[in-house]
Structure 1
Amino acid sequence: MAKQLPYSTIHEIFSRFRAAEAEPKGELEHVNAFTLVVAVALSAQATDAGVNKATRELFRIADTPEKMLALGEEGVIEHIRTIGLYRNKAKNVIKLCRILIDEYGGEVPSSRAALQSLPGVGRKTANVVLNMWFGQPAQAVDTHIFRVGNRTGIAPGKDVDAVERAIEDHVPAEFQQHAHHWLILHGRYICVARKPKCGACLIRDLCQYEDKTE
């Protein structure tokens, strides 16, 4: 684990990220808050590309909790069987729809606690929804962010909660809204797990990773 980088270095890192892509976007396809919640829940242990392929048709015919509930568990399974753990995920989606209808008038709640009370929705999923839909500077730490945070020294921590806190504590406020997207995209395409593409890295000179590649 790298040491925590100083504030000035982190500011420079995110200034470079912002200069390269001012408005980074998540790659999960969705049309409203409900489809975003479902897409993020389905993405656990699956790729965004795989989820998008499975949900395009699903969201075309079921973009509200009511329509999804009408499909039923087997109907959802027909669309998402290419995604890992699809049976359990379909069960959670149907339960989630019932709760949204019964307790929230069919609307997706905007509080972390309420979101995390939904089946199949953990802290990471809740933070993605809070950030992407409700515009809150929530930090959804996945494997990419955990790796980048620890390799670079931007947000070192022994677990995802520690990395989340480090981002909140050390990334300047002006970058908080987009921080997790910049870090995810950097981890997905540049600072990859097995052989990071250090030669193409915007922040190579600021990064503390010792085993840099050419």
Structure 2
Amino acid sequence: MKVLLWGAFCLLLTGPLYAQDTTRRVAPTAADSLLTALVDSSATTQPLLPQRMVFTQRAFWGEKGLLRRTGLAPLTTESRRRELTLRRTMLVGHQALGFVTLAGFIAQGILGANLYQAEGARYTRLRNAHEALGTAVNISYATTALLSLTAPPPLIGGRRRGFSSIKLHKYLAIVHLTGMIATNMLARQIRHNYELKPYHRAAAYTTFGAFAAAMIVIKF
């Protein structure tokens, strides 16, 4: 009888302990909270590309661009880091080659001014030099433009609102691109119609002025 009473007493003492061990909840630690935050942040995927891109950037670097489809540049966080490094390199090259093109414009202006006053063999020599330099300037100008137009897109939210030197640089680019096209078209027609020389010269000066201004605003 005493044995039964003693066993019942021990059961009453230990029973609540076992019940407490099975139902007790441990308070979350700092590590658990950090893990939960990481899981939540990974579940909410952030876009890797800006919504607004130049059409050439979208063709190459867009979500369905050529480099994405071919697998050469998968759209991942690590890939975007490499693309931003490439973007910086291409824009530095764009700026450096822009100054080379600007020097070519100046040389073209000097040759063109002398060409209008030359005659005979000197005219032929200056014309050949003017045309050869014109080809070189066209190549450097096109390369300068392509380095900017085909560079990977910037970071999301990196665009500034309102007027800025970058936007002025782009507006001037439209002007000197239009002038460059007009200059080349008029240059081809001058041989058949010498009355177009003043328009050719005006288009060339406009192109040079807009291009020089675009280089100045982006530099300073």
- Structure with bigger helix share is 2
Which of these two proteins has the greater Rg computed from alpha carbons? 2
TM-score category (smaller protein): under 0.3
Q: TM-score, normalised by structure 2?
A: 0.27
